[in-house]
Amino acid sequence: MSSKVGTERLRVVLFSFGYKYGVPLDVNIILDVRFLPNPYWVKELRAGTGREKDVAGYVLESSEGEDFAHHLQPMIRFLVGQYQKSGRKSLRIAFGCTGGRHRSVAIAESMAVFLADFSVEWVVFHRDIDRDRG
């Protein structure tokens, strides 16, 4: 788990999960990232996770990954602003892929980097990262 903690700030939880283990119930938004290239099908990347540079690069540096980030970042910026403006205490965003080890993890971690300069508390939680080690 990673975090940047402040006081009296909006708490943004970036949550990765695997659809095959069920959809999380306690989130505000679920984004399905199964359309992104899957490192599971690359023998050298299968055992890794989206926290690792080569696995994350495979996902995030693909044309689909770059396009997704291009659209996702403004949406996250907008949502953070709106949640802060409305006085909400937390925003929980879940990213799901098939197993919860590669694509969803890479996206959640990249959004944590994106949020680092925001005036929010953020936490990254990877529910299924240790399942199905390939």
- Is residue 134 assigned to a domain? no
- Is residue 133 assigned to a domain? no
Q: At residue 4, does pLDDT exceed 60?
A: no
Share of the chain above pLDDT 90, in %: 90
What pLDDT does residue 132 have?
74
- Containing domain of residue 31, as a range? 2-126
Which two structure tokens, joined as six digits, stand for 87? Answer: 């006085």
What pLDDT does residue 5 have?
47
Q: 68-89 pLDDT, tens per residue?
A: 999 999 999 999 999 999 999 9
The DSSP bridge pattern shows strands 2-4 and 121-126 to be antiparallel
Structural domains of the chain, count? 1
**What are the φ/ψ torsions at residue 71 (nearest 5 degrees)?**
-90, -35
pTM of the model: 0.91
- Is residue 131 assigned to a domain? no
- Is residue 11 assigned to a domain? yes
Q: 78-124 pLDDT, tens per residue?
A: 999 999 999 999 999 999 999 999 999 999 999 999 999 999 999 99
What pLDDT does residue 1 have?
47
Residues 18 and 96 sit within 8 Å (Cβ to Cβ): yes
- Is residue 132 assigned to a domain? no
